[in-house]
Amino acid sequence: MEENKITAQESEEEIVLDSNCEIKKETNSKKSSGFSAYIKKNYSQLERKDFLFAYLLVLFPVAQFLVFWVYVNASSIALAFQNDLGGFTLNNFKTVYTAFVDKDMFGINLGESLRNSFILWIIGEGIIFPVGLITTYVLTRKIIGHYIFRLIYIIPSLMGAIIWTLLVRQMVDYSGPIMAICNAMGIKVSDLAYRNGFLKDPNTAFPTLVIIRSIMGIVGNNAVLTGAYTRVPTELFESAELDGASFGTELFAIAIPCIWSTICTLLTFALCSVFTCDYNVYLFTEGMGDNGTSTIGFQLFKLTYELSKGTVKSYGYPAALGLVLTVFTLPIVLVGKWALEKMSENVEV
């Protein structure tokens, strides 16, 4: 007699209908095993669907990372260990070391560029960023004329980087308004700066770059910080005022803890650019980076640009420099992000 079998999907037993239509159960001899069996045993069908949804969400950014970082940079990493003939070598890293302690084959001293990059970064993030926190908070408290000041802060952000850089370069030129103001106020400048501008004098070029970086640092994060401050409930400030809290107490005990997650994000991105940000040196110095204004980001960009023109023939040296900067940047970012998260609790508002 033939028997009709109906297998239950969620069970390891089979329901058998014999010729007398009597129901009996048989145990499935082939039990599922492996990872799928573990998932079915420990998680419900609804939980498995949730896991699948989460994995599909993560799949897209992971695929982007694999394609646009791993695939694109794989050849660059390989070039760092190759000579001009394609053979394995470590001479590219020796060239990088020589460039930091002395000069490379192009006469570039990366040690001086590294020093300038650190100075600009420390001034920008260690001094100017806290000043930006305070000035933005003052504007969000709606002082007299706060709309005018906020508009003045936003204008540089609305302008393109090239337009803004050319405008500032013209302002500090020998025929610019800064030189005219110095002459009108009787401020004495060097003959070289008077003839060629502040960025063409070795004594004033880097200080001028620091001042420009400071101004841009104050206004650069204004829009982001303004949005973060406006999310803080006004009831917190009103309650603090009733308790007699001062301006500093409101800022450091209420406002900054409430936007700490935004501050951590901004500083983490700043840590990522500690080596690669060129601070528009290429545009300010017309591609020269002379008079003590060179930075690591500028030198890396210039090497890449010269490669595109065919002036530099060896790809191994720039690739090795980029790999070294990546190796040093990664732990700085990870440790810095961990320290920032430990400094204050994340307050949900």
DSSP structure string for 256-307:
HHHTHHHHHHHHHHHHHTTTT--TTHHHHTTT--TTTT--HHHHHHHHHHHH
Kindly report, residue by residue over 71-120, the tens digit of the pLDDT: 878 888 888 898 878 788 999 999 999 999 988 777 888 999 999 999 99
State residue 295 phi and psi, 5-degree precision: -125, 165
Residue range 241-249: average pLDDT? Answer: 88
Determine the pLDDT at residue 345: 65
CATH at 257: 1.10.3720.10
Asked whether residue 131 falls in the same domain as residue 19, the answer is no
Pick from 229-233, 251-255, 312-316: least confident = 312-316
The one-letter amino acid code at 297 reads G
pLDDT band at 311 (very low <50, low <70, confident <90, very high): low
pLDDT band at 35 (very low <50, low <70, confident <90, very high): low
DSSP structure string for 215-250:
HHHHHHTHHHHHHHHHTS-HHHHHHHHHTT--HHHI
Asked whether residue 224 falls in the same domain as residue 128, the answer is yes
Cα–Cα distance, 205 to 230 (Å, whole number): 39
Q: Output the pTM of the full model.
A: 0.75
- pLDDT reading at 43 higher than 50: yes
Asked whether residue 14 falls in the same domain as residue 109, the answer is no
Asked whether residue 8 falls in the same domain as residue 151, the answer is no
Residues 6+ apart with CB under 8 A from 81: 88, 89, 90, 92, 316
Residue range 273-286: average pLDDT? Answer: 84
Kindly report, residue by residue over 160-196, the tens digit of the pLDDT: 778 888 888 889 998 889 999 988 888 888 888 888 8
Q: How does strand 13-17 pair with strand 23-27?
A: antiparallel
Q: How far, in Å, are 142, 248, 342 from residue 253 at the CA level?
A: 19, 8, 16
- pLDDT reading at 219 higher than 90: no
Asked whether residue 244 falls in the same domain as residue 143, the answer is yes
Asked whether residue 4 falls in the same domain as residue 142, the answer is no
| Better-scored residue on pLDDT, 278 or 258 | 258
Asked whether residue 155 falls in the same domain as residue 260, the answer is yes
What is the domain count for the chain? 2
Determine the pLDDT at residue 313: 67
Determine the pLDDT at residue 21: 47
Q: Is residue 158 part of a domain?
A: yes
Q: Is 58 helix (H, G, I), strand (E, B) or coil?
A: helix
- pLDDT reading at 335 higher than 90: yes
Cα–Cα distance, 112 to 77 (Å, whole number): 25
Q: How far, in Å, are 47, 303, 307 from residue 282 at the CA level?
A: 54, 12, 16
Tokens encoding 173? 């030129």
Residue range 277-288: average pLDDT? Answer: 84
Report DSSP state, residue 200: G
Asked whether residue 8 falls in the same domain as residue 103, the answer is no
For the chain, the average pLDDT equals: 81
Residue 1 domain boundaries? 1-31
User: Scanning the structure block, which residue is given the tokens 């002459």?
Assistant: 183
Q: What is the Cβ-side half-sphere exposure of residue 46, based on CA atoms within 13 angstroms?
A: 0
